[in-house]
Structure formats: structure tokens, C-alpha cells
Chain A
Amino acid sequence: MIKSNLPRPRWLQPLMLLSPTTLFLLVFFCGPLAIMVTYSLLEPGIYGGVEWTFYDQNYGRIFGWADGLYEEFDPIYLETFAKSVRLALITVATTLLICYPAAFWISRLPSRTRSICMFLITLPFFVSMIVRLYAWLLILRPTGVINQLLMSLGLISEPLEMMYTEGAVIVGMTYIFLPFMFLPIYASIEKLPGSLIEASQDLGASPVRTFFRVILPLTLPGVISGAIIVFIPSLGNFIVPGLLGGAKVMMVGNLIEQQFLYARNWPFGAALSFMIMAAMLFLLLIYVRVQSRSIGASRGEGV
């Protein structure tokens, strides 16, 4: 609508504006991804390099068709992937439980306080991830804040072992991905018309019923967006399990890191990375679906 009012420009202008960026991303984004996928189908060389022959054994090691001659199938890879999915799902659940009430609270605040709160929530996103994780190292360590506090209160006599547990990894991921969940939920709650909630209450619905029948369905697109945006970086994370999980809680990201930095089996590492990429692309498709449907729904409402 806006565009149609503009005089029809020469085709050269948009081309000149668009082509450097397109070229850059085709070469340095699409190119590397294509090479990575290619690598996952090549044979690992003896000294860490790669042989340019087709080789399906990298995926065979993961999914079970490895012949046992050169490569061996090991269920540990699929198990680790499943564990990563589980930890990422728990992270989605905890961020959702923490953010939903908070977003509801902030959306009801007077506008000035609200914008200050929004600013305070966006800010940690820009604080280095490593600094934010380091804080939890100080808190959870055997000589950390929680143990010092509990011991000085006399509640425990020996420090609790909180580091190197799945709980620690979940706390770390929840903490760093909180803003990712908050912003889409807040956006959908803010759009929620207060009159609908009042109408539901006037018609005699209990608060619980109002929540499940009116509020939750209307904010569901925000919840789904947030869930996907938190799930994707959690799934492939290796910094959090590396620092807070140690050798006890390994995720698929740690396996990939090992293949590249220590085992030097790049094709196998590329195959593992491709699994994360495939999961991400699949979720992105759902995300686009949800987005376009919610835009369509809100347009329908307006008419």
C-alpha cells in the first residue's frame, strides 16, 4: 500500500542497494553452511584432514548403519542428542514459567514505569554471556555464595554439590535466555484487550477459567515464538554445560566441540552440527507458520 504511492523507480537503485549484502551473505553465510553439509558426507582423513570421497559412515555412526569395519555405531550420540533436547525443553519450560507472570505484571504498569522495566529486561541481553555465566559459577561453587550462606547459618555442615549437575546447566541456560522468552510473550500480552478479560469475568467465569479460555489462547503465538527462540540456542549450547556441567553433563554441542578441537574428525563433527541445523530449520518453518497465522488472525479481528 505504501509502496504503490511511490513513483516507479529505476530497477538499478534497489539492485545496487541489495546486491552487496546479498553477495556477502551468499558467500559468507550460505557458502559455509553448504561446505559444512558437504563435509558431513566426506571421509575423514588419517591426519585430521578430509578425503574427497562420498562417505555415509559419519551419519552411520549416529543412526546405526555403520559397518563396524571403519566406523562403529554407538548409541551415545543419539542419547546425547535426546538429552540435549530434554534439557532444552526444560529450559523452555522454566523460562516460560518465570517470564509469563512477569510479562503480565509489567503490561499492567503505568507507561513510564513500564518502559523503565522493559529497558531493564533488555539490558542483560547485551551483557556478555560469559560474564553472566561466570556469576553462576560464583554462586553455585562449593565455596560459592549459596554454600557460604547456608554454612554460616548452620543449616549444612558440608558444602552442597551443586556444580556439575543438570540442575546447574538448566539454571545457567534459563538465566542467559530469559530475555528471549520475555520479549515475544510481552508483545502478545500487551496486545491483549483488557475488555475481553472483563467480559469473561462479567459473564461469571472464574479467574482460572478466564486464564485458560481467554488469556492463554490469545497469547499462545507469543508463547510459541518464545519457546522456539529459546529452544534453538539451548539445543546446541556447549558453553553452559562446559562450565556448569563439566564432564558429567555433556550435551551435543560438547560432542561437536570435541570433534573439532580435540578428536580432529571434522566430517563427523559436521554431521553432528547438521543435526542441530536441521532441527533449527524445522522449528523455523513452524515459527513462520505461527507468525503468519497470528498476523492473519489479528487482521481479521480489525475488520
Chain B
Amino acid sequence: MHSTFSTRLLSLYGVLFFLFIYLPIGLIFVYSFNSNPINMMVWQSFTFDWYRTIFGFSAEVTEATLYVESTDQLIGAVQNSLIVASVAASLSTLLGTAAALALYRFRVRLEGFYRALMMTPMMMPDIVLGIALLIFFVSIGIDLGVTTIMIGHCTFLISYVFIIVSARLAGMDPSLEEASADLGATPFTTFRRITLPRILPGVMGGLMLAFIISMDDLVITYFISGVDATTLPVFILSMIRRGVKPEINAIASMLLMFSIIVASLGIYLRARSEKRL
């Protein structure tokens, strides 16, 4: 009796826990379709108008409160975000995977040092890293912009990729690689035919997660983006600072959906790669 009661209580708690996590972000999504332009949290009727507005189409309810003064700015921010995330995720996946391979497949001197070097960027508070990068770029005379954002993102994305690929490598039996080497394959052939296909799902998972972490980064980008190169999260922050308006719901909902789709894919790939060893 006692144990079923406490089990039920725990289950109820579990449901509340998930409500706490998902209700707030669910609210944004639901109210992004609310047509009430004056009080956006009082439901009036269903509308797509906020989405139409941010893409620059005319809409009925928004004429009086037209808010996104420049759709071009928003599109520019989305473009910057996508470009930065693609380049930073690819580069950090290459660098992180190479480092993981070196540390898990070879005896390396100073292994502890390298491991600490790969992990610390992730632990560094983002405000410290953001400011350090800002001072660094300005004092060596590199103009802030898309390039500096890419470099900045790579520093901490390497850590994430390194951890994901390391987890994959740690669980892999090296006997197949040994067999390949014993049968006379060159190291490169062994890598291409044996190692790479086995770690590929983990690497792809790492790539997607790195992509979405880069897309979502706010603090480091905030400090090193300069005047012209805004990314989507920084753009949303500056919009919120000017005032909460229904259009932000629509932009936030779209970013929300995009993040959820890409991250789901990344988590799925990583989980699959850890199961099938």
C-alpha cells in the first residue's frame, strides 16, 4: 500500500516536472497564433498574421503596430547564423574528431594536458570567453564580424565534438583495426575503411549538435559580433529589449521548431552510434 502510494506520488511529480519544462516554451508557440495585437497574452482568435509580417507580407491586424521595421535585417541575421553555424560546426567537427582519434588510438605524451585543453573551453563561463575574445581580436587588429564569430564558436564547439566522438571511440573494440593493420593495410586505408565508417554516426551527431549550439549561442556572439554582423539570437535579444511584441513570438517559435528538429536528429544519431558498437 505504502509503496504504491509513494510511486504514484513520484509519477505525479514526474508529470509536473515535464510540464515545468515544456509549458513555457509551448506558450510561445501557441500564442504566436493569437491575433490580439494589444494584449498578446489574452486569446482572441487564430491568425498567421505575425508570421506574415515577419516575412514582409501585409497583414490585417498588424498595420497599426507594425514592428519589425526591417525584414531585411531579420533575414540578414538568419543568413549570418546559418553561415556561421555551418562553418563553425564543420571546422570544429574536423578538429575535435582529429583530437579524439589521436588521444584514443595512440599513446600520447602529456595526455592529461591535451585532455584538459580540449575540455576547458566548454567549462569556461561564456562571458569570460566572450570578453577574452573581444580583447584579443581588437588588440591584434582583426575587425569584428562573421569571421570572428566563427572562430569564437569553434573554441567551445571543439569540446562538445571531442566529448561525443571520444565516447564513441572509448566504447569501440580496436581489434578490427588491428586485424586490418596485420593484414597489411596502410594506416590511411584502415582509417578510411574501418575506423571512419564505425565512428561516422557519432561524428554526424556531433556535427549536428555543434551546428545547433552555434545557431543558439548568444553571449559570446554578443561580444564579438561587431556592428554589422548580427546573428538571430542577438537580433531577438535586441528586439526584446526594445519591447515585447507579438512578432517576437513568431520568430521565437520558428527558431524553436528549427532547434528541436536539428537537435532531435543529432541526439538520435548519437544514441544510435552508441548502441550499435
Contact = CB atoms under 8 A, between A and B. Distances in A.
A269 B131 CA distance: 9
Nearest to B7: A108
A128 B28 contact: no
Nearest to B29: A135
Interface in A27-44: 28-33, 35-36, 39
A145 B27 contact: yes
Interface stretch (B50-58, B70-78, B116-124, B196-204): B116-124
B17 A134 contact: no
Interface string B166-206: 00000000110110010000010000000000000000000
A126 B216 contact: yes
Contacts of B129: 29, 32-33
Given A102-B13, A132-B25, A21 B98 contact: yes
A24 B128 contact: no
Contacts of A126: 209, 212-213, 216, 259-260, 262-263, 266
B42 to A, nearest CB: 6
Interface in B220-277: 223, 232-233, 236-237, 240-241, 244, 248-249, 252, 255-256, 259-260, 262-264, 266-267, 271
A256 B127 CA distance: 8
Contact of B218 (A33, A120, A122, A239): A239
Interface stretch (A61-69, A73-81, A276-284): A276-284
- Chain A interface: which size bin? 35 or more
Contact of A3 (B21, B106, B241, B259): B106
Contact of A260 (B103, B108, B126, B223): B223
Given A21-B98, A135-B28, A138-B41, A35 B135 contact: yes
A18 B158 contact: no
Interface in A241-255: 243, 253
A270 to B, nearest CB: 7
A46 interface: no
Contacts of A13: 102, 106, 187
Contact of A143 (B39, B121, B259): B39
A25 B121 contact: yes
Contact of B187 (A9, A122, A235): A9
B106 A102 contact: no
A131 B101 CA distance: 36
A123 B233 contact: no
Given A7-B178, A18-B114, A239-B237, A123 B132 contact: no
- Chain B interface: which size bin? 35 or more
Given A18-B98, A253-B127, A127 B256 contact: yes
A32 B101 contact: no
B41 A145 contact: yes
B65 interface: no
Contact of A270 (B135, B178, B271): B135
A120 B22 CA distance: 9
Contact of B103 (A18, A120, A273): A18
Nearest to B42: A148
Nearest to A139: B24
A155 interface: no
Interface of B: 7, 10-11, 13-14, 17-18, 20-22, 24-25, 27-28, 31, 39-42, 95-96, 98-99, 101-103, 105-108, 114, 117-118, 120-121, 123-129, 131-136, 139, 151-152, 154-155, 158, 174-175, 177-178, 181, 187, 209, 212-213, 215-216, 218-219, 223, 232-233, 236-237, 240-241, 244, 248-249, 252, 255-256, 259-260, 262-264, 266-267, 271
18 contacts: A3-B107, A5-B174, A6-B105, A6-B181, A21-B96, A32-B132, A33-B132, A39-B135, A101-B10, A123-B264, A125-B263, A129-B233, A143-B41, A232-B125, A236-B128, A239-B219, A243-B241, A280-B123
Given A128-B255, A232-B125, A280-B128, 7 more contacts: A24-B158, A35-B135, A101-B13, A126-B266, A127-B259, A134-B248, A243-B240
Interface of A: 2-3, 5-9, 13-14, 17-18, 20-22, 24-26, 28-33, 35-36, 39, 98, 101-102, 104-106, 108, 115, 117, 119-132, 134-139, 141, 143-145, 148, 175, 178, 229, 232-233, 235-239, 243, 253, 256-257, 260, 266, 269-270, 273, 276-277, 280, 284
